Amino acid sequence: MKNLTGAYCVQKCLTGVLFIIELASKCAVSLHSCPSTCICASDLLSCVSQNLQQLPAPIPAMAATLDLSHNALYQLQNHWLAGLPRIQILRLSHNHISRIAPQAFHNATYLMHLDLSSNRLHVIEKQVFHELISLQELLLYNNQIVRVDGRAFIHLGSLRKLYLSWNLLMDFPFSSIQELHHPHLRILDLSSNKLPTIPIAEVTELPLYVKNGLFLHDNPFMCDCTLYAMFRHWEKYGLNSVQDFREEHTCLAVGQPQSSIRFFKHYNIFENCSLVHGLMAFPITTIKAVIGEPLLISCETSLQDEHTSYMWTLPSHELIRFPGNINQTMAMYSNGSLEIKEVRQQDSGIYVCKANNKHLMRNETREVNVTVHYKKSEGESFNTGLTTLLGCAVSLVLVLMYLYLTPCHCCCRKKVPTPSPPHECSAQSSILSATPPATDGPNRKISGSRHVVFLEPVKETRNGKAKLATSEDFTDAKNPKIQQMKSDSESITSVFSDSPIMP
């Protein structure tokens, strides 16, 4: 009986182990399987140009990049990405997508790049992209979009690039961009749409980093002095949105395409416009700060009353509100002033203040450029230019002292009975020879070259003058012939001559 019980237990254990192995193998197959119509490479899944109308199966769960471009998809259903928890890049361009379900991107919190260009979208609803909190690039160009909800992109706090060109937009909710919910936004492309006009006051209040990448060219704008002044002002400050497409900034004089005028070519047409410079000016201020010291930055707007609320965007793209989130190194006050308790090197950059007055239904934006410097030492009193000039003068004095006050040291190994004139000492000390000097004595050896060599002073002198010898004079070692130099001037001249001195 005991043996039967033991055998039964063993059988049950083996069955459980086999079930676990089978389950693990099925999971491994589901994780690493690849649809027959796609190409899988590591975490990349490419299903391009397969005439697909829905997501193929089975889909590997580890895929981070999915390319479904150039297919026949016509809608995106709810939770259709549930099997791709790691998806970061999704390409859906060149399909027939006209509808996106409200929960289509549910739990796609890692998605950073979404390409929906060249489809058939008509309206961008407010709840479509709410789940995409990590999205950085959104491509919606070349669709049929006629309306964008004012809160469609409000939850995209990481958004950097938004492309809406080549659509049918007749207006755009610039106020949603002005709310500073997109501190990373650098490109907003609204070119090649149907915009007849834009809210100049809202556009000019956008932060400078947004206006630099706000592309509005190739729209049927009605010619207007204020619009012309805005574009001219952007050109003056060298904004990329104008510089890169200067010839494509046009307006319609009488509302017809045939009356299109280029802003920057036929500017004489706008000479009679009274430009409102105060509206066009960039409200940016530059402040110098010192490391280790406190700094108070004011939000200088015309909305200074009790109904005004303030919000700052830091260079690190962090949002500071009052009395909301307060940074440990900063403090914000009810009047909109921002205090940095102790300035650091990383505190330099552009600070953007947004003032919003719901009672007056107005808002304003101000930018402050903070440059951080190191504290000047207390003992530093010399100007840099004066210090450099003083150093040059001291160096020149030292060079002159070295040239004129250094004594002449003659390298004479043996004393001559009759002292030589001072000028000969310098001549004799300048011995230039390719061979080391010979040893003392009458049997000294010299080079076989016919060039003049200077020998060290010898005992035999005449009238205090040294003797000079050539190699020919020493052909006979027993009877060396030594000739006296003719004169001091001739000997000095021969120093700089390559021809030998003949006896």
pLDDT, position 283: 55
Q: Is the pTM of this model over 0.85?
A: no
Mean pLDDT of 280-291: 73
Half-sphere exposure of residue 185: CA atoms within 13 angstroms, side-chain side: 28
**Domains of the chain (ranges plus CATH)?**
32-280 (3.80.10.10), 284-373 (2.60.40.10), 426-503 (no CATH)
d(CA 448, CA 445) in angstroms, rounded, equals 9
How open is the CA angle 455-459-461, to the nearest 5 degrees? 85
d(CA 465, CA 493) in angstroms, rounded, equals 16
Q: Give pLDDT tens digits for 33-58.
A: 789 889 999 899 999 999 999 988 88
Q: Where are the alpha helices (DSSP H) in 58-199?
A: 174-178
**Given pLDDT bands bounded at 50, 70 and 90, which one contains residue 109?**
very high
Q: Give pLDDT tens digits for 133-176.
A: 999 999 999 999 999 999 999 899 899 999 999 999 999 999 88
Nearest one of 444, 433, 454 to 501, comparing CA atoms: 454
pLDDT, position 211: 92
Q: What are the backbone angles phi and psi of residue 391, rounded to the nearest 5°?
A: -65, -40
Buried b or exposed e, range 381-410, using 16+ CB within 10 angstroms? eeeeeeeeeeeeeeeeeeeeeeeeeeeeee
pLDDT, position 75: 94
d(CA 495, CA 503) in angstroms, rounded, equals 16
Mean pLDDT of 277-291: 68
pLDDT, position 453: 44
More confident residue, 166 or 259: 166
The distance in angstroms from the start CA to the end CA of the chain is: 137
Length of the chain: 503
Percent above pLDDT 90 for the chain = 30
More confident residue, 108 or 432: 108
**Neighbouring C-beta atoms of residue 380, cutoff 10 Å:** 9
Instruction: Write down the mean pLDDT value for the chain.
Output: 75
**Neighbouring C-beta atoms of residue 426, cutoff 10 Å:** 12
**Given pLDDT bands bounded at 50, 70 and 90, which one contains residue 451?**
very low
Which range among 124-138, 311-325, 406-420, 460-474 shows the weakest confidence by mean pLDDT? 460-474
Q: Give pLDDT tens digits for 77-90.
A: 999 998 899 999 99
Sign of the Cα torsion 14, 17, 19, 25 reads negative
Q: What is the DSSP letter of 465?
A: B
**Given pLDDT bands bounded at 50, 70 and 90, which one contains residue 332?**
confident
249 by Cβ neighbours in 10 Å (0-12 / 13-18 / 19+) ranks as: buried
pLDDT, position 65: 95
pLDDT, position 485: 41
Pair of tokens at residue 149: 């909800």
**Neighbouring C-beta atoms of residue 362, cutoff 10 Å:** 15
d(CA 103, CA 500) in angstroms, rounded, equals 104
